[in-house]
Amino acid sequence: MTDKQELIRNAVAFLTDPKAQASPLAQRVQFLEAKGLTGPEIEEAMRLANSSGPHQPHIHPQQPSYGPVYGPLPYVSPHHSPWDWRDYFITAVVSGSLAYGAVALARIRAETSAVKTAVESQQEKVDKATADVEAAVQQMREGESRARDEMREIREEVNNIREMLPKMIEKNKEAQTQSLGELQQDLKSLKTLLLSRTPSTATPAPPLPNFPPRPSIPLWQLSDSSSNGTVLPLGTSSPSIATPPPPPFLANGKGKEVDSNEP
């Protein structure tokens, strides 16, 4: 509020200045706006200037012409008053604020660009990781589905084998029984064939004839004759070499008698 009051006092002093009163009202209003005064503040300054200056009655009738201030007016260079320290301070503050704002904006833009780049890189990594996870999950699901199908097939095969095993055992038993029956039948047929080929009765072999033994020399005579040097006759032989004659006939096992001299 103090700065505004100071500006209004300066505006009143400007409006009461005879040199300023010589210039048109529009130029004075434009100058006051350049100093930072608003419309109500300019009206208040003009009111105070009119009330403080009794020797200026010509200003009051021109007050209603303050309305069209923003209309097109010919450019007239305003009367510049010398700047005091306040003007320089305000200018420095505004310039510093603008410079700081520009630097801060540039810094924020650079940081935003870096953050954006980092976020994009992170987003790419996240997308890649998400794609890898989705692929792994898809492979796991496919593997689980294949395992489930294989287990179902194995279960079906086991059930089929369980159902077929008694039938196979029964069929094998029947086949073995049939084979044993056929084997027994073949054995019976073979036995019957062998019995039909053998003769019904076998001819018994005739008894051997009983021949009397040949006469032999007693042992005491043999010992005497050997000591005397006598020779035994040809018709005699020692008992050690005396053998009975072979039988004249032999049976060949076929019910036919053959001569023993035949080859």
CA atoms within 13 A on the CB side of 61: 3
Q: Is residue 24 part of a domain?
A: yes
| Domains identified in the chain, total number | 1
Q: Is residue 163 part of a domain?
A: no
pLDDT at 219: 62
Query: Which among 234, 233, 239, 232 has a CA at the least distance from the CA of 215?
Result: 239
Q: Is residue 69 part of a domain?
A: yes
CATH of the domain at 58: 1.10.10.10
Q: Is residue 156 part of a domain?
A: no
Q: What is the pLDDT of residues 249-261, one digit of tens each?
A: 444 444 444 444 4
pLDDT at 54 over 80: no
Residue 254's contacts (CB-CB under 8 Å, 6 or more residues apart) are 203
pLDDT at 8: 79
Question: What average pLDDT is seen over the chain?
Answer: 72
Lowest mean pLDDT among 50-54, 82-86, 148-152: 50-54
Measured CA to CA, the distance from residue 66 to residue 25 in angstroms comes to 8
Q: Is residue 62 part of a domain?
A: yes
Question: Phi and psi of 259, rounded to 5°?
Answer: -75, 145
Q: Is residue 46 part of a domain?
A: yes
Q: Is residue 45 part of a domain?
A: yes
pLDDT at 181 over 60: yes
pTM greater than the 0.85 cutoff = no
Which H helix or E strand runs over 183?
A: helix 85-197
pLDDT at 51: 77
Residue range of the domain that includes 32: 2-78
Higher per-residue confidence, 256 vs 180:
180
pLDDT at 15 over 60: yes
pLDDT at 22 over 50: yes
Bridge partners of residue 249, in order along the sequence:
259
What's the average model confidence in pLDDT over 79-88?
70
Query: Which among 161, 7, 27, 146 has a CA at the least distance from the CA of 90?
Result: 7
Q: Is residue 63 part of a domain?
A: yes
pLDDT above 90 as % of the chain: 18
